[in-house]
């Protein structure tokens, strides 16, 4: 007797793994206000009823909770937060379906897939540039997750799974609706970001794009809805952009943003926060200018001189921010930027400490502790320079040396020591 997808979804071990994954991922409560900590007590009381409702097709997902988060480049991204029970069921379905679709997904797809990630995608981009693909069609899909066609989604799922129970359950999740500030809205299209099943469904849908690009013989790299197609000339790029836009809008019913979709050089355009540079050894990845500016702005906010937090707390926040940033960009060439950023950050810290000392007497005492004579400390403490100019002075650099800042808890943000920023 063959095991159906329904059997795999409702398997006790699969449901236990789904629960543990939801618990580990934490996340906000849905429309019923149940938290991940409330999930286990709920399952102890309602497990049998839940499984029976699922098995008999009576399970009805709750509407997702609308949450909006700001994008780095402006605008908002709409998330749909399912209830924790719905998240567990979605996770159970995703775990059963993932092995099926991993066998059919393209090698050029890197987003939301096991053992693949941003760094693999960027490594492929570098390889393609070195093979002579010097132009890229940078596709921008307009609100992709909000515009997925439900009927087409089920059609694409049916190509690989023949299980009516699973297909009905997936459609229920797609059409469960949205609760936005207490108002219910039907969901006639889209797959809300925020649930465990959404990334898999997004890849299933855009796998049709991957298949079409492969059929045409194109070189491409796709990470979720970010897709770059690599060609060898501007003319070829413009031709591909027109034909693929037509395919996406007519066949897949998704909109291409004409203002953001462009053909250009990978040295100038950014992809997943990276752009390319070239030296005598060929192409290399580096953080895009916008990525550099964003991390510097984040550090600027953390080191505002009027924040009024302890140095210990500030250094912890800097450590946390830079650990994630360095891990993400570790494949890129970072040395020059990080060296400049490190010098600038230390000046920000010196400025903050100088502001903390406040009183004239306090400044004199600290400067004397750093090795200055009383006379020199008195003269320097009397300075009328602004905080930022003072932070760059030889005297303050002598008093608050790099070693002293590291003694206080600031870790040097240097690529060769980026392992310090890795998770324990």
**Does residue 143 come out as left (phi exceeding 0), alpha (psi in the -120 to 50 range) or beta?**
left
pLDDT of residue 423: 36
Q: What is the DSSP letter of 285?
A: E
The b/e string for 359-375 (b: 16+ C-beta within 10 A; e otherwise) is eeeebbebbbeeebeee
Residue 205 CA to residue 155 CA, distance in Å, equals 9
Question: How many degrees, rounded to 5, is the angle at CA 144 between CA 218 and CA 275?
Answer: 55
Residue 159 CA to residue 151 CA, distance in Å, equals 13
pLDDT of residue 415: 56
What's this model's pTM, rounded to 2 decimal places? 0.86
pLDDT of residue 74: 64
pLDDT of residue 395: 85
pLDDT of residue 90: 97
Residue 258 CA to residue 328 CA, distance in Å, equals 29
The b/e string for 129-144 (b: 16+ C-beta within 10 A; e otherwise) is beeebbbbbbbbbeeb
Residue 16 CA to residue 10 CA, distance in Å, equals 10
End-to-end alpha carbon distance in the chain: 45
For the chain, list residues with pLDDT below 50. 416-424
Residue 153 CB neighbour total at 10 angstroms: 21
Cβ–Cβ under 8 Å, residues 128 and 222: no
Element (H, E) at 112: none
pLDDT of residue 209: 98
pLDDT of residue 183: 85
Phi, psi at 354, each rounded to 5°:
-60, -40
């Amino acid at each position: 007797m063959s095991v159906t997808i329904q059997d795999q979804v409702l398997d006790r071990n699969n449901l236990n793994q789904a629960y543990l994954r939801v618990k580990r991922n934490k996340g906000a409560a849905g429309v019923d206000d149940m938290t991940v900590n409330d999930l286990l007590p709920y399952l102890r009381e309602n497990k049998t009823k839940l499984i029976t409702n699922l098995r008999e097709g009576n399970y009805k997902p709750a509407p997702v909770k609308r949450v909006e988060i700001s994008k780095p480049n402006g605008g908002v991204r709409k998330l749909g937060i399912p209830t924790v029970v719905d998240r567990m069921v979605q996770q159970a379905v995703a775990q059963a379906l993932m092995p099926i679709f991993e066998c059919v997904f393209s090698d050029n797809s890197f987003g939301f897939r096991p053992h693949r990630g941003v760094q693999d995608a960027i490594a492929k981009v570098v390889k393609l540039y070195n093979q002579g693909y010097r132009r890229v069609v940078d596709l921008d899909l307009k609100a992709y997750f909000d515009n997925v066609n439900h009927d087409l989604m089920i059609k694409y799922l049916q190509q690989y799974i023949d299980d009516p129970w699973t297909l009905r359950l997936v459609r229920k999740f797609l059409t469960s609706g949205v609760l936005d500030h207490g108002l219910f809205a039907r969901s006639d299209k889209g797959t809300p970001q925020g649930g465990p099943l959404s990334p898999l469904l997004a890849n299933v849908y855009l796998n049709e794009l991957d298949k079409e690009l492969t059929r045409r013989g194109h070189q491409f790299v796709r990470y979720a809805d970010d897709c770059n197609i690599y060609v060898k000339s501007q003319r070829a790029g413009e031709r591909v952009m027109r034909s693929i836009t037509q395919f996406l809008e007519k066949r897949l019913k998704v909109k291409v943003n004409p203002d953001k979709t462009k053909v250009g050089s990978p040295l100038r355009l950014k992809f997943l926060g990276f752009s390319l540079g070239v030296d005598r050894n060929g192409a290399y990845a580096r953080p895009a200018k916008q990525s550099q500016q964003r991390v510097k702005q984040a550090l600027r906010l953390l080191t505002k001189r009027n924040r009024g937090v302890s140095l210990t707390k500030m250094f912890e926040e800097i450590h946390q921010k830079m650990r994630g940033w360095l891990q993400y960009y570790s494949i890129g060439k970072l040395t020059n930027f990080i060296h400049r950023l490190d010098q600038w950050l230390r000046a920000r810290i010196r400025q903050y400490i100088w502001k903390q000392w406040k009183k004239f007497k306090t400044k004199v005492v600290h400067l004397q502790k750093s090795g200055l004579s009383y006379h020199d400390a008195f003269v320097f403490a009397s300075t009328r320079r602004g905080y930022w100019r003072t932070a760059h002075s030889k005297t303050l650099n002598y008093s608050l040396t790099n070693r002293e800042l590291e003694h206080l808890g600031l870790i040097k943000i240097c690529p060769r020591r980026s392992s310090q920023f890795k998770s324990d």
